[in-house]
Structure formats: C-alpha cells, structure tokens
Amino acid sequence: MYKKQPEIHTATKTSNDLLQFDKEHVWHPYTSMTSPLPSYLVESANGVHINLASGESLIDGMSSWWSVLHGYNHPKLNAALVEQSTKMSHVMFGGLTHPSAITLCEKLIDLTPQGLNKVFLCDSGSVSVEVAMKMALQYWHSKAHQANNVLTKTKLLTVKNGYHGDTFAAMSVCDPVTGMHQIFEQVLMQNYFAPAPTIKFGEQWHSDDTKELTQLFKQHHHELAAFIIEPIVQGTGGMRFYHPHYLKTCRQLCDQYDVLLIVDEIATGFGRTGKLFACEWADISPDIMCLGKTLTGGYMTLAATLCTNDIANTISTGEAGCFMHGPTFMGNALACAVANASIDLLFENNWQDQVQTIENKLNALLLPLKTYSRVKDARVLGSIGAIECLQAVNVAVIQKRFVELGVWIRPFGTLIYIIPPLIINTEQLTTLVNAITIVLDEDECFI
C-alpha cells in the first residue's frame, strides 16, 4: 500500500523539484547519499547526443558506461522492442522458451570463440560473473562427487587491478584495494591475487611478466577452481591495455594445472577493442565467458555466461543434477529481441570499419596529448581512448566544464577516457578530444 497517493502530474514538476527530490532520496552510484556529486537531468537522447532538461545537447563520450553501440533512440532497436512487446514482454524461462532467446543464444555460440556451446542468460554483468564462478565451483564439486574425492578446488585466482562487478562473489575477485575488500573482509570469499600485467599492448613481450602468476598456479592449483581475468583491457582498473601473450599464458597455465579459465568480456565484447571479442587478440578460447554491457546495444540490462559442453555435462551429472541458478527475468524477451537487433546492426554497419575509423582518429588526436605536463600516458585501443593524468580529477568541477563544452565525459581517479558509440563521426570525435585538451590546462579541474 502507498502511504499516500503518489502524485500523478509529475510532468508539471519543475526540473529543480525533480533534481531536489533526486538529491534527497535517490541513490546514485559511487557517491555520498548525504552530500552527493551533482546529477544532470536528462530529457532524451538521440544518436550520439544526450539532451539535458536544461537545454544543452551533449556529445556522448561514455556510451552510458560502455554499453551503447549504435546510438540512442535507434529506429531499428526501437522497432525490435515494439515488435516483441506486441507478442509478449516476458515469460518465465522455467518450462517455457521463445524464439528471441533461442536466436540470441545461437548467435552468441556462432560469434564467440570455439568451444563455448552452452549459454546461460542472466540479468547483469555482475550476475553473469556470479554465474561463472558458481559454474566453476559446481563443476569441481561434481567432479569430486563422481570420483568420491574430497573437494579441494574451491578458490579463484585472478590478477590485481581487475574489476568484475559489485555483487559479493564478483567483488571477491576485484582488486583488493580499489574493490574495498577491507570493509567486507569477514564475509568475502578469500581468493588469490597475482600482480597485474605490466607489459603493455604493443610493447615487446617478456615472460618475466607471468613469473609470479606461474608461481601461484604451481603453489595453489589443488585449491583453484578457476582463474578469472578481463581479456586485454583492465577497464575499471584504469583502462590498462596489456600484452596478448599474457592472456595466452593464462590459457596455457590453466591447461597445465587443470584450472578453468573464466574470461570476463563484459566491457570488451562486441568489437570495442578492434576484435569482436578481446580473446581473439591472443587466439584463445576460455572455458567460461561473461558477456554484458553492449549485449543489447545499451538498451536494457542483459548478460550471458557461456561455457563448454564439458562443464555443462559435468554439472548436469553431478549431485544436484542441474546448475543451481535461475533468475526471475532469465531470458527476458524484450532484452533478447533488442540484443538480436543490436548484433544484426553490428554487422550491417560493418563494425570493423567503424572501430578502425575511431581508432585512427583517436591515434591522431589523443596520442599527441602525451606531451601535456599533466599527462602521464595517452593510449588508444579500438574505440577506447584514455588519458592518464599525474593528478586525480575533481569530478564535480571537471564534469561541469565538460557539460559547458558540450560533451558528456565522466573521468574517475586520474583517468580521463572516452569510449563513444560506434556511430560517432569525425567531427563529433574531434569535439570530444578538444574538450579534453581544454580541461587539461585548467587547474581547478584537478585535485
């Protein structure tokens, strides 16, 4: 029951009323509830533009947390949603199935690296990581049960500086420092951490980079259910692009020591790095792969965890006889329909050309910023461009300046980065980089 009748005429509320309520009652990610960073009220978004209620139209450099591929308010994606909604928006996935989900799973199996033949659809990136970790743990449980052995493989190994989501299992494999492990220490799964990869994409490879990792495999493999890593790009950890040979070595170590390889392609999937999946840079197939973010072209929350036949068979012949997970909105029909349309658009639009064009332009415009006194490093991979600064940004101030300059860029820590929708044109991309160039000279934007 409502305590009181909710107000019906929200449209008559002013922007200031709405923002005031938002500030007092609505949680936003990673900001204080009592003294939050400002939020900007959005009225609509179209193509690469986010239109604020205050009248400004901003060129989007963030793709709404790396999820939008083909722009906002896309006629074909809208049409896919409308068409699906006239049939049904959702039905339970227990005992029922539907063409949109089936078609999507078929596409995912076709497009992802070889061997990933079973698809588990779920709600969000974090949940797909939960599912991946649970799959790995249940796989070894089933193996031990069948062989009548004691279960020892109950931990995960990962690298520092990683990010895999905000739910508890996912958090336990995020970087121990930036993932705030100390707050949840008593309840968090205790896993193993290797140093982050240090040899960058494009640099000369040296096997020293995997020395400690190899040592950890050697030392702990009896306890290890899986190794989890973001392929090629450590995203939230600072847009660090590492050498593909590192990932190749991860695959070799997993094979050698009988540990499952989980690859988290949530940020890198669907073309972002210049390959359809970042695994392709190292020419490897994982045992389990997580997809999310761009899966629906940024329209709705949907994720998928893919695994091999071996994992599916082992789990299904184990003690439980099935995998122990089943979200209410599993296989949501609207989300699947828009995901299918987004994947089709990727190929219709020739995503490789789109990404290559963005990469060339970013190389030309962003890399020269390396010479700025505030800049520690500038790097580009596919449609991702990042400026690492020597000082941390003042988020509220720099955000306001970007809005004044007509762009939506949200830096964090020392990192100013852009990851625009693939449909962005050269002129719009130039506006984004020009805005970054301007704020790099403004002291008040930095702490």
Ligand X SMILES: *Cc1c(COP(=O)(O)O)cnc(C)c1O
Nearer to ligand X, 129 or 159 (CB): 129
- Annotate each residue in 113-152 with x if it binds ligand X (CB under 6 A) or - if it does not, as one string: -----------xxx--x-----------------------
Pairing mode, strands 116-122 and 155-159 = unpaired
Measured CA angle at 351 (ends 56, 355), to 5 deg:
65
- CA–CA separation, 11 and 50 (whole Å): 20
Q: Closest separation between CB of residue 401 and ligand X, Å? A: 26
- Residue 286 binding ligand X, by CB under 6 A: no
φ and ψ of 294, to 5 deg: -75, 0
- Residue 61 binding ligand X, by CB under 6 A: no
Q: How far is CA 90 from CA 80, 293, 304, 353, in A?
A: 14, 20, 17, 35
- Residue 70 binding ligand X, by CB under 6 A: no
Residue nearest to ligand X (CB): 125
Nearer to ligand X, 274 or 298 (CB): 298
- Residue 388 binding ligand X, by CB under 6 A: no
Q: Could you confirm whether 163 is annotated as catalytic?
A: yes
Q: How far is CA 324 from CA 62, 131, 134, 315, in A?
A: 35, 9, 8, 9
Number of residues in contact with ligand X, rule: CB under 6 A? 15
- CA–CA separation, 311 and 318 (whole Å): 11
Q: Closest separation between CB of residue 375 and ligand X, Å? A: 24
Nearer to ligand X, 179 or 318 (CB): 179
Catalytic residue (one of 123, 264, 287, 377): 264
Q: Closest separation between CB of residue 161 and ligand X, Å? A: 12
- Residue 297 binding ligand X, by CB under 6 A: no
Q: Could you confirm whether 264 is annotated as catalytic?
A: yes
**Residue spans of beta strands (DSSP E) within 242-357:** 260-264, 288-291, 303-308
Nearer to ligand X, 237 or 244 (CB): 237
Tokens 């300046």 belong to 401
With CB under 6 A as the contact rule, the residue among 267, 288, 338, 355 that binds ligand X is 267
CB-based contact 421:345 (threshold 8 Å):
no
Q: Which residues touch 123 (CB under 8 Å, ≥6 apart)? A: 301, 302, 303, 327, 329, 330
Contact footprint for ligand X (CB under 6 A): 124-126, 129, 163-165, 230, 235-236, 264, 266-267, 292-293
User: Catalytic amino acids?
Assistant: 30, 163, 264, 293
